[in-house]
Amino acid sequence: MLKDGKGEMFFPGEDWRVERKKKTHALNQEYNSLTEYQPEKRKEILREILGELNENVVCQGPVTFHYGIHTKIGKNTFINFNFTCQDDCEVTIGENCDFGPNVTIVTPIHPLLPNERRALMCPDGVGRRLCYAKSVHVEDNCWICAGVTILPGVTIGKGCVIGAGSVVTKDIPPFSFAAGNPCRVIRAITEADSMVNMPEILGDCKVIEE
């Protein structure tokens, strides 16, 4: 029928979509009812929610996934409290990423005109409330700080840091520090940012050589 994930209209009320969302929403509630003393049960539920879950992923909870099956999370990624992922189409989160609390990822987009939001005519001659969606990608080794919102169609390049409270509306190139609403690149992240150059903070600790 109508395609999603490539900027084409689809009907969120299709039977399979409604059933998948109900199942995922129930699994969200089950996950959020568990404590950190139940890591294996939490992992089991995340595997049922997500399209792909790699090793050593931690989601503090509460979490809210919309479909879940459209989301893939790479290994060694940490996601702090109150993570929301409205994954009407593909969302990929890379390896070794860190997410602060209250991060939101959204993929769906609705028409701007109110009458078109209410209904558009489908190929079968029936008017339905339609939307479209664009994929979101967070590449490896990113730090997404507290309160960030990532909007549809955005790719955040590897090694980026996105400052707290930012609203990311467009792609961010790799190894950038970006912040603001709308989010913009402030500067590149370089070796000058190493903790080696902050001895007053590093104290008796040492940087591990790669």
Read off the tokens for 42: 């939490």
Q: Please check whether residue 104 is in contact with residue 149, taking contact to mean a CB–CB distance below 8 angstroms.
A: yes
Clarify whether 110 is annotated catalytic.
yes
Strands 58-59 and 78-79: parallel
Opening angle at CA 55, ends 25 and 139, nearest 5: 80
Amino acid at 42: R
Distance, CA of 99 to CA of 57 (rounded, Å):
11
Task: Compute the distance between CA of residue 85 and CA of residue 83 in angstroms, rounded to an integer.
Answer: 7
Nearest to 162 by CA among 173, 175, 177, 152: 177
For residue 82, give Cα distances in angstroms to 64, 79, 103: 8, 9, 7
Which residue type does 70 have? H
Catalytic hit among 66, 70, 110, 137: 110
Nearest-angstrom CA–CA distance, 86 and 4:
13
Retrieve residue 86's tokens: 């409205």
Residues annotated as catalytic (active site), given as ranges:
110
